[in-house]
Amino acid sequence: MKKIFFIILLIVFSSDIYAQDDLQNYERGKKLVEYGNWQEAMEMLRPYMNSRQYGDLSHYAHFHFARAAYGNGQYELAKGALETVLDERRWGHTDEARYLLVLSHFNQEENEEALNEIKRLRDETLKDEAERATFDFLKNANLTWMISNLDKFQENKGYTLAIRNQLERKTVMSADERRVFQSIRTETSGGQSTARSSSNQTLDIALVLPFNYNGGSGVSRLQGGNFIFEYYKGLRLAVEKAKKEGMDVNLQIFDTERKPEVIDKILRDPFFQVADIIIGPVYPEETNIIAPFAELNKIPQVNPLSNLEDNIQGAEYSYLFRPSTSAMASGIIDYAVRRSSSKKIAIAYSGTSKDELLAKQVVSLAEQRGFQIVRNQKIDGKNTRDFFTDLGISRGRNATADIIVVLSDDPNVASPAFTVLESLNTHVPVVVPDSWLYFDFASFEMMHDQNVRFIGNNTINFEQEGLQKFRDDFYDKYQVYPGLYGHLGYETFYWVQQNLNSRIGFDFSRNLRRAGKQEGNISFGYNFANGRANQMVPILKLEDGILKIEQ
């Protein structure tokens, strides 16, 4: 859509002052620059740098000569040619020359000189490009030097993002680094999003995912159990459906291989100059590279699978398609307030980072709302039964909690939990992740009988009209029915196309805020009116074999 000014605009001009024969080698020199024949181009252009003989034409010759020298890696030579034309104030392309001078300084690690020249740029488009170059060149620069010079260059967004990118990768920060990090996060998350302008009606999507997260490259050897590949197949099916219905969609696929060097190469692809949205990646170390790039280039970036808000904090162009853990904690406690008479809650959680974080947030909110925490315990498959029996969940005994929350997507926890609940037949509501709906060791009837409730997490609505057709289409195309990730991929694209299209425009943030609560295509829906993660976290129950929102 939007043409990002990523390379210097070619300056094309003609002159009637000189005889055509005099200009033939000059025009040839310019063409050789475009062809990448740097050395030959410099030799062709050198005679025209004589200002006494060629006047104003010599300024252009200096500029094109500098371009050739830069392409040939002769940065000092390029700087000399550029400084000559920058001394000529009447020349009308000083900003283009200054931008190339910035790049030459950066390539020689003369970072302070480059940053000072950026301050002198007047053309806003070139200034934006120079700030993007700042991030590219300084994202691995000396952090101590960058922090010490922050006051001088903090107006350069690429500079502050490069510092933030380095700090986010650190496991231990000094007190000064923490102060700078908090300050930068506040500044970079406080602005309003700017829409990427549209010059055509195509929805350009960059799908950036670690297809080969276990090693390897390419897609020909991906196994059926690859959850990323399944997600992609669901999304691709949705894209194909939209195209048949007349929508103009351009989907480009990139495999990160879960390698930082591959991601750096991907982000240099020209497609990111026009992309309207980046879907992916999913792992934190990948997001730490792509989120600053997305923010710098004002491209919405969506993590389609994670619930961890670390992925979006301080990055105003980054989103979670699914609810954040804090939104899930709020949904759980809101439900507990409505359903708990004595305000006694018990919490069990597995050892994953997500479950531990969610448990901590649930405990904090529960205490704020006046709940007594009867039990807060890490569990695995071995001690799951003990957790329930210690709460008095057994025949003839009164439970010490009137609501139980089990936070684990691990089937090794869910299976013994179901066994215990089936044998004890408790009437205490047990709130669990919606992933338990997809485990094959428990039927809907069993989950209904044991008073189990499910935490909405972009949960599939089995009563949606279009669900069966999607499943049939998926089977027809891939000869297998979709799992959870296939459904999520299909729903992700539906959400994107609802909020990025030619009818309502391509300002993703504005469109999400205006839309408020939205009905899903095959899910219970989403709400991004007040955040960059899905705020819709219904608590679901099975009633007569139908999954419904419990009011």
Whether residue 466 sits in one domain with residue 318: yes
Q: Distances in Å between the alpha carbon of 157 and those of 115, 153, 438?
A: 11, 9, 45
Cα–Cα distance measured from residue 84 to residue 62, given in angstroms and rounded to the nearest whole number: 8
Q: Are residues 406 and 477 in the same domain?
A: no
Residue 354 contacts residue 307 (beta carbons within 8 Å): yes
Range of weakest confidence among 205-214, 403-412, 481-490, 525-534: 205-214
Do both 412 and 498 map to the same domain? no
Percentage of the chain exceeding pLDDT 90 = 57
Q: How confident is the model at residue 188 (pLDDT cuts 50, 70, 90)?
A: low
Query: Two tokens at 107?
Result: 């390539």
Q: Write the CATH number for 450.
A: 3.40.50.2300
* Boundary of a domain, candidates 431, 455, 479: 455
Look over the chain and give the mean of its residue pLDDT values, rounded to a whole number: 86
350-356 average pLDDT score: 93
Q: How confident is the model at residue 421 (pLDDT cuts 50, 70, 90)?
A: confident
Res 181: pLDDT: 81
Helices (H), 108-226: 111-119, 124-138, 143-148, 150-153, 157-168, 175-189
| Same domain flag for 376 and 272 | no
**345 and 440 part of one domain:** yes
Total domains in the fold of the chain:
3
List own/partner pairs for 119-123 with CB under 8 A and 24 or more apart: 119/155, 121/95, 122/95, 123/95
Residue 90 scores a pLDDT above 70:
yes
- Domain-embedded: residue 441: yes
Same domain, 368 and 298: no
Enter the tokens of residue 270.
Answer: 């020209």
Strands (E) across 339-451 are located at 344-349, 372-378, 403-407, 430-433
In a domain, 151, yes or no: no
Q: Are residues 243 and 349 in the same domain?
A: no
Q: Tens of pLDDT along 276-304?
A: 999 999 998 899 889 989 988 899 999 99
Residue 1 neighbours by CB distance under 10 Å: 20
State which of 435, 455, 475 marks the end of a domain: 455
Q: Answer yes or no: is pLDDT of 186 > 80.
A: no
The answer to the question of residue 165 being in a domain is no
Confidence band (pLDDT; 50, 70, 90) for 355? very high
Record the pTM. Answer: 0.71
> Residues in the chain, how many?
551
**SS3 category, 315:** coil
Q: What is the mean pLDDT of residues 23-40?
A: 89
Confidence grade of residue 153 (pLDDT, cut at 50, 70, 90): very high
Helical H segments across 297-410, by residue range: 325-339, 353-368, 384-390
412 pLDDT band, cuts 50/70/90, is confident
Residue 157 has pLDDT above 50, yes or no: yes
- Inside any domain, residue 374: yes
Going by C-alpha positions, the residue among 228, 253, 258 that lies closest to residue 486 is 228
> Residue 44 has what pLDDT?
92
Mean pLDDT of all residues in 3-9: 35
Please provide residue 375's backbone torsions phi and psi, each rounded to the nearest 5 degrees: -155, 140
Single residue among 455, 470, 494 that ends a domain in this structure? 455
Confidence of residue 93 (pLDDT cuts 50, 70, 90): confident
Q: Is 71 helix (H, G, I), strand (E, B) or coil?
A: helix
Domain that holds residue 506: 193-322+461-527
Tell me the percentage of the chain whose pLDDT exceeds 70: 87
Are β-strands 249-255 and 539-543 bridged in parallel, bridged antiparallel, or unpaired? unpaired
Residue 173 lies in a domain: no
Please measure the distance between the N-terminal and C-terminal CA atoms of the chain and give it in whole angstroms.
Answer: 43
Residue 318 is assigned to a structural domain of this protein? yes
Residues 377 and 448 in one domain: yes
Tell me if 72 sits within 8 A of 42, measured CB to CB.
yes
Q: Which residues contact 488 (CB under 8 A, 6 or more apart)?
A: 231, 234, 304, 305, 321, 458
pLDDT at 21: 52
Instruction: Provide the Cα torsion 395, 400, 406, 411; round to 10°.
Output: -30
Check residue 187 and give its pLDDT: 66
pLDDT digits (tens, 9 = 90+) for 208-259: 999 886 555 555 444 556 899 999 999 999 999 999 999 999 999 999 999 9
Could you tell me the two tokens for 511? 């469109």
My answer on whether 255 and 358 are in the same domain is no
Q: Is 170 part of a structural domain of the chain?
A: no
Query: Do residue 395 and residue 474 come from a single domain?
Result: no
Same domain, yes or no: 396 and 421: yes
Q: Has residue 244 been placed in a domain?
A: yes
